[in-house]
Structure 1
């Protein structure tokens, strides 16, 4: 697939994905969402890729929201289909990706942009970042998992306040309430995200995929997270990486994992 709205570059086993609509503050339109769905599916199935770094072009916005002009005249059925399709193919796909996805939030992350960041496994924000879910000011609510993931990350009270007031919060506030993992100067943003991947790449890929599945199960309806953990723990014993990891520990050397 030839991308028109995102850039995709593989460097040192990390796929750098940049939403490239800077003049539109990287707003999510249908084509951009389709390209994101494709690139995440590609990353999930490519053994060369150990993780995905997701960011926005420029220094103003990660993603300033969805392209409102595309759905301003929708009815209820069309709105529901829009949310269902986006959640299934993009936002849920990111959350379920067996490769860690790190959001490098380089400015505004609003509406669908914050929902995109929250779907990622880890979030790093630049000091100038502003985050919020302003949908109620448009007569809507978040439709790409925002009500659920924000509540999981910051708690019911803070989530309802952010959604009901439609207020933006600073990167510093976001770190304080657990919405982002780190806040750094913008010039250091990508390097900080890359440093996280440098540590991740030292660990066993199949174990990381199992951990993602187990952690996600903690908030998955009708799934027993403890049972998922037990099952994934057991599966690790059948991997070559487990033999390598335990062997390296006993032999007092660094392990060399191959993802098998």
Structure 2
């Protein structure tokens, strides 16, 4: 049976041909016994490092400038990936994250290696779903729905811990560019958690309108965090997965 693997990206360059060693910039997978170049040193198992499927590229006849026609949000995200000013914080917290969430059996559990699929994107629904539902009740249900909305905010807050732990476990295995984005992703989520905590406390004390406004602030901020998390999962392939998913 094929070993469980981590798929990741290190920089940006063309994928190598079959049988060649991945260079900096190649998309690589962690098999038994090795780890992607530039990523954290904690391997998933024993094995080799091999180039993954190449990214889709524009047709040969495309004459448009990527700089001119790339959406602003993509340019902003690329700049964030290259923001070396974040490296000091990344280097400061990385050892603690490795120990707390990334290494050993705990890291394997949090990354979902036993399941064959990353746990983090699954658990995010348990946070975002109740929070968004609470705001829907605030907008269409009025004060009659205040108790239900408070409960939903609380459910989301209870799910924050396990969701964050699984996210840090994934972060611990990524390369420098992805760690920068992941750091901002975590920071925006922390702000959102603070807003929703304030929302729940306001609702508990009977200030429903204040709680509803704080929830909207939290939803806005968490939307930024969700975008960055989606970028990491979709554009950067930062997620644990079983190699069977890579079969064409």
TM-score by length of 1: 0.22
Structure with bigger gyration radius: 2
TM-score by length of 2: 0.22
Which one has a larger percent strand, Structure 1 or Structure 2?
Answer: 1
Higher relative contact order (CA 8 A, sep 6+): 2
Which one has a larger percent helix, Structure 1 or Structure 2?
Answer: 2
